[in-house]
Structure formats: C-alpha cells, structure tokens
Amino acid sequence: MNDAILIAISALDATLRLSAPLIFCAMAGVFSERSGIVDIGLEGKMLAGAFAAAATAAVTGSVWLGLLCAVGVSVAMALLHGFACITHKGNQVVSGLAINILASGLTAALGIAWFHRGGQTPSLVADARFSSITLPGADAVADIPIVGVVYSELLSGHNILVYLAFLSVPLTAWVLYRTRFGLRLRAVGENPQAVDTAGISVAWLRYRSVICAGVLCGFAGAYLSTAQNAAFLKEMSAGKGYIALAALIFGKWRPAQAMLACLLFGFLDALAARLQGVDLPLIGEIPVQLMQALPYMLTVILLAGFIGRAVAPKAIGIPYSKER
Amino acid sequence: MSQKRLPVWVDIVLIPLINVLLAFVVAAGVIFLIGESPIEAGKIMLMGAFGYDEGIGYTLYYTTNFIFTGLAVAVAFHAGLFNIGGEGQAYIGGLGVGLLCLALDAWLPWYLVLPLAIIAGGLFGGLWAFIPGYLQAYRGSHIVITTIMFNFIASALMVYLLVNVLIEPGAMSPETRRIAGSTTLPFMHDVFSAMGIEIASSPLNVALFLALLCCVFVWLFIWYTRWGYAIRMIGFNEQAAIYSGINTRRMVVLTMCISGALAGMVGINEVMGAQERVVLDFVAGAGFTGIAVALMGRNHPLGIIVASLLFGALFQGGAELSFEISTITRDLVVVIQGLVILFCGALAYMVRPSLERIFKRAVAEDKS
C-alpha cells in the first residue's frame, strides 16, 4: 500500500518537473496569441534560450547570468517575430517556423563551433545549475502519513524554476484579467480596430505581448539546460514547444486551463517512462509511442470539436493595417 | 496606398533575388561569427555541389526530394492552405511505397511495381493529409495546427511500426528488410554505365524524372484545369469562390490530398530508390525544406525546380563543408534554410516599399 503511494508520488513529482517548461511556454503562448499573434515559434525560442543559458553558465559559472542571457536571446527572437509579423505584416506561421528552424540550426552550428563537443555545451558543475530547494519544515513533517509525504516528497525539493513556472500562471491570469494592459491585450486580439479607434497603438501593444512571450520562453529554455539537465544538448527541446502550443489550445487560450493541460501532458510523459515494458492487466503493454503521441492526438480531437470547442482569439493571425 | 505598380519582373525576379541574397548575407555573417571565411566556405560548397560527378549526383538526389515536398507545399499554398505536414505525409507515403515493394518484390520488376508504388505512396501520403484537410473543411480546426500535430503522430507511428512490427527478424536496427534488387529503382550511375558512360556512384536514381514529371503535372493542373482554377480562386478570394458556386470544402479536402500525395512521392526516391528499405526518419527534414523551396520558388513549378536545385546544392555542399572545415557542420544549411523562410516568406515584402520609391523616382526623372 505504502509502495503504491510512493510510486504515485514519484510519478506526480516527475509530472511537476516535466510540466514546468510546458507551463512557461504555454503562458508565453497565452500572451502572444491572446494579442492576436500566432506563436508556433515557442519551440525555437525555448531552444535558443536553453543554448544561451547553458553556454553562459558554462563560461561564467553563474546560473543567473545564464538565465538572463536565455531571456535576452529569447526576447531577441520574439522581437524578430514581431518585426516580421507586426511591422512588416508577414505571415505569422511562416515567421514562427523560420524562428524554429533558425534556432535549431544556429544552436547546433554555434555550439559545435564554440565548444567542439558535437553540439553539446560543457557539463555544468552543481554551482552553475539551479539546485533543488527544500521547503521549510519539509523534513519535520516527512513522517506524517499522506499530508507530510505529499509536502516533503511532492511539493518540496524542486528547483526554483519549477515554482516560478507555477507562479507564472496566476501572474499571467492577473495581468490578463486584472490590469489595463491585459484588457487592452485581449481587446487587440479580438478587435484591433476598436483598440486603434480608442487611440491606443496596436503595434506597440502587440510588441509588448510578444516580448512577454519571449521572457517566458527564455525561462523555459533555462529550465531545460540549467535545471533539468546540466548541459545543452542538440535539439533538446524535442517538440516541447509544440506540446505547449497544443496545451495552450487544449486550455482554450486561458492560463489556468492551459496549465491543467500542461499538467496532463506532463503526466502522460511521466507515465510513459514508467509504463515502458510493463504489462497492464487486461490491456497488456501500452506502446510508449502511443503515450508520446497522445497529447497531439487529444489536441486534434479537441480542435475538431469532439470534446468541447476551442475558439481562438478572433483577430489571431491577421496582420493589422490601419487603412481600409 | 501601396498599390503603386512595379514592373512585373521586379516582383517575380528582383524581389525574390534580393530576399535570397539577404538570407545569404546573414548566413555569411554567421560563418564570420564562427571564425571562418564566408568566401572560402562558399567556394568549398560550390565545388562540393557541382565540382565533380559524385557531388552533382548527390545534389540532384537531394533536389529530387525537395521538388516533391516543394510542390506539395505550393499546391496547398495556391488554395491559401499552409501545409506544414509535408514531413509526416512523406514519412507515411514512404511507408505505403515500402509495404507495396516488400509485398511484390518477389514477383515483379521495378518498372511494373513503380506505377503501383506511386499510387500506394500517393494514397498513404494523401490520406495523412486528407484528415487535416477534412477537419479544416468540415470541423473548423486549423490546418496549420493539425498538420503540425500529424507530423508528430506520424513520427510516433513509424517508430512503433519499425521497432515492433516491420523490423527484419533478428536485425538490430529498426528498419525493414531490403527490397529485392530487381524491384528497386535503377541508380543513375547504372543507367549511365549501361549506355557506356561511367560516372561515380551516388544515390541519384530515376525518381528525378518522376519529380520533373510532377512539376509538369502541377503546372498543367494548377493553371489549365477547372480544379486548378477553383483552387487558385479559393486562395485568392474564398468568398468569391463560394459565390461562384465552387464547393470550397470539397476543394480544400481535394487540395490537401493532392498535396499529401506529392509529399508521399519522397517515398519513391528514398524507400524505392536510395535506401532500398524503410528506415527511421528517412525524410530527414525534407518536408520543412519544401516550405523554404515553395516560398523561394513563388509556388511555381519552375521556381520550385530552381529553388530545389539551390537547396540540393546547399545540402550536398554543406556535407562537403563539414569535411573540410571542422568547426562548420551541416547545421549551417539548416540556418540558411531558416533564413530563406524568414526573408522569402515572413519578410517577403520588406524591401518592396523602398523599391517602389526608387522606381517612382526613376520614372519621375525619365519624364523630366
């Protein structure tokens, strides 16, 4: 019995760790897409951020400088996206795709040229990584059944970025629903003409939104290379940005729901690792690949309107031009 | 406001050329950043791609794939659909080609299998595009998102099939058994040596001719058939298309099927040609390169051939480059690909206003 609880807790523990980068990216997507800018470049920004964080941390030994660089690089790519989509009214999907491919190529090319390790950055020592934090009183309550175990094993002992990821959700929700900027951001994603008529710059609002997205993707990248792993590995984002995009749609472009979707997809990921080669009663062995494909399949089914309806922001993907 | 007309040649030739040049200038900057000479790198790439017969063979072999995927993206573009799923459609198409060849290779020679393989690859690739197309047309889900998702689903499916089902019994690596030699497509070096000309061996095979045929087919289909007209009309103005009585939903599904079938032809070149079996990840990003190719080639078969040749040369030259200069790898080509998508796609009209100003001034000076 106790064993079962411990296994369940370890799976949930892994879920939190695997969901963290998804949540950062999904919140980034909330900012960008609610303002009307399609962001399939989450993946690329995260990957570029991961490289910047690991490279900086490896050279300077400072994990915080690494995080700063990750955010800087990710914001730079977000600005490029903005420059193409907002200033030049380019196709947002094409621009996002360009960013993904650029990030994939640049991180590998620069990594090999600078570090000569086949695209990997040098492994980080413990000081140059985000280490796990023990929450106050975790050791004291560890012996209390269930509540104590949940607190000490599940909630305590993550690195600071995991906590920040979960903090980013209420923060995003607050900005989106409780601030003037958030109101305008949502308005510009639904009806940019109205916002323009009110004398507010559509372009500047959207630029600020994509910058917010860039910051959050930078955090996700730093998490991958300096918290979850101890180095940058080629293509280490491995489709997580697209999963986050799926979670964003699955959560109907709302912060709390998107987080739940991220947790679901993170849980599937954690489960896939644990079910590998395990024969389940009645069903038999579930192929790992099925578990890996499940987030994508669920999103397709949701988008097709078979489980609820996901309605995108109205002005999404349409460049705004004044003269009409 | 910005409707001041530019001469046609500026729109078709000059602007794409400037955009590609911009992409290469930035790529040169990246090489400079790495600490190598861009000019030297360019020379090595050019020599590697066109300098000797083996290099040319490889260049044209890559070109073949890019023509297929480029055409796939272009056909969808004409209907205003952005098919990012070429990668998955090519992968599944290759599965169809592989299954057919493995089923028939004991009995039939390649020239009898080829038409069937084209149908199988087209069916499988087309089916993988049919679902997103159907969901877009009838269920209102967005084609971009569903095709992205289908790439991942295809990849998971193929890993599962190759690891668990199709793997050659007793083999270690996840791939099918080899297709019998009589059923695989003849390599170009074999064709040439049969005619008495010896050239170095390369994976280039007769699928190149199929690619060129597909270009002719797409050109005729898009510009000289009723369906092609309907597709262009939907892309140009969907409301008008509906108003003129075109069943836009059916056309969207049909366009996606054709697009997927074209992507599936990569399977002919790879599975029936170069690899002679179904291997893991044989598409190797060609689906995404197809997007760059279609954008650069302005969705016209001629432009696609030129752009495919450029990217084929880049991939082959890039391989050569990584032999010659240890700090540069083929990833640089991926960077160039990203830059081409950025400048020819997302920033396609960046230079237009400045060009319009220049031409306006030139015209004004002519008059004075």
Calculate what percentage of chain A has a pLDDT beyond 90: 57
**Is a pLDDT exceeding 80 seen at residue A232?**
yes
Q: What is the pLDDT of residues A284-295, one digit of tens each?
A: 778 888 888 988
Question: Are B33 and A88 an interchain contact pair (Cβ–Cβ within 8 Å)?
Answer: no
Confidence at residue A316, expressed as pLDDT on a 0 to 100 scale: 86
A137 interfacial to chain B (CB closer than 8 Å): no
Confidence at residue B2, expressed as pLDDT on a 0 to 100 scale: 45
Q: Give the chain B residue whose CA is nearest to the CA of A310.
A: B141
By Cβ distance, the residue of A101, A112, A305 closest to B334 is: A101
Is A189 within the bounds of a domain?
A: yes
Mean pLDDT, residues B146-165: 93
**Is a pLDDT exceeding 50 seen at residue B92?**
yes
Question: Are B338 and A102 an interchain contact pair (Cβ–Cβ within 8 Å)?
Answer: yes
Mean pLDDT, residues B270-295: 93
Minimal Cα–Cα distance from B24 to chain A, Å? 13
Q: In this predicted model, which residue has the larger pLDDT, A32 or A301?
A: A32
Q: What is the pLDDT of residues A59-79, one digit of tens each?
A: 998 999 999 999 999 999 999
**Is a pLDDT exceeding 80 seen at residue A278?**
no
Which range of residues forms the domain containing residue A50?
A: 2-303
Is A316 within the bounds of a domain?
A: no
B235 interfacial to chain A (CB closer than 8 Å): no
Question: Are B346 and A299 an interchain contact pair (Cβ–Cβ within 8 Å)?
Answer: no
CATH classification at residue A177: 1.10.3470
B91 interfacial to chain A (CB closer than 8 Å): no
Q: What is the pLDDT of residues B114-149, one digit of tens each?
A: 999 999 999 999 999 999 999 999 988 889 889 999
Q: Which of B245, B267, B216 is nearest to B97 (CA)?
A: B267
**Is a pLDDT exceeding 80 seen at residue A137?**
no
Residues of B in contact with A92 (CB under 8 A): 346
Confidence at residue A307, expressed as pLDDT on a 0 to 100 scale: 67
Confidence at residue A269, expressed as pLDDT on a 0 to 100 scale: 87
* Chain B residues 156-215 with a CB less than 8 Å from chain A: 156-157, 159-160, 164
Domain count within chain A: 1
**What are the backbone dihedrals phi and psi of residue B233, each rounded to the nearest 5 degrees, phi first?**
-65, -40
**Is a pLDDT exceeding 90 seen at residue A96?**
yes
Confidence at residue B4, expressed as pLDDT on a 0 to 100 scale: 55
B153 interfacial to chain A (CB closer than 8 Å): yes
ipTM over 0.85: yes
Indicate the pLDDT class of residue A1, thresholds 50, 70 and 90: low
Is A93 within the bounds of a domain?
A: yes
Q: Which of B69, B265, B283 is nearest to B158 (CA)?
A: B283
Secondary structure of chain A as H, E, C letters: CHHHHHHHHHHHHHHHHHHHHHHHHHHHHHHHHHCCCCCCCHHHHHHHHHHHHHHHHHHHCCHHHHHHHHHHHHHHHHHHHHHHHHHCCCCHHHHHHHHHHHHHHHHHHHHHHHHCCCCCCCCCCHHHCCCEECCCCHHHHCCCCCHHHHHHHHHCCEEHHHHHHHHHHHHHHHHHHHCHHHHHHHHHHHCHHHHHHCCCCHHHHHHHHHHHHHHHHHHHHHHHHHHHCCCCCCCCCCCHHHHHHHHHHHCCCCHHHHHHHHHHHHHHHHHHHHHCCCEECCCEECCHHHHHHHHHHHHHHHHCCCCCCCCCCCCCCCCCCCCC
A119 interfacial to chain B (CB closer than 8 Å): yes
Q: Give the chain A residue whose CA is nearest to the CA of B353.
A: A88
Is A318 within the bounds of a domain?
A: no
**Is a pLDDT exceeding 80 seen at residue B320?**
yes
Residues of B in contact with A90 (CB under 8 A): 345-349
Interface test with B, best of A102, A235, A268, A316 (most B CBs within 10 A): A102
Q: What is the pLDDT of residues A20-61, one digit of tens each?
A: 999 999 999 999 999 999 999 999 999 999 999 999 999 998
Quote the pTM value.
Answer: 0.90
Is A42 within the bounds of a domain?
A: yes
By Cβ distance, the residue of A287, A293, A304 closest to B152 is: A293
Q: What is the pLDDT of residues B177-192, one digit of tens each?
A: 999 988 999 999 999 9
**Is a pLDDT exceeding 50 seen at residue B16?**
yes
Top mean-pLDDT range of A115-119, A220-224, B199-203: A220-224
Indicate the pLDDT class of residue B329, thresholds 50, 70 and 90: confident
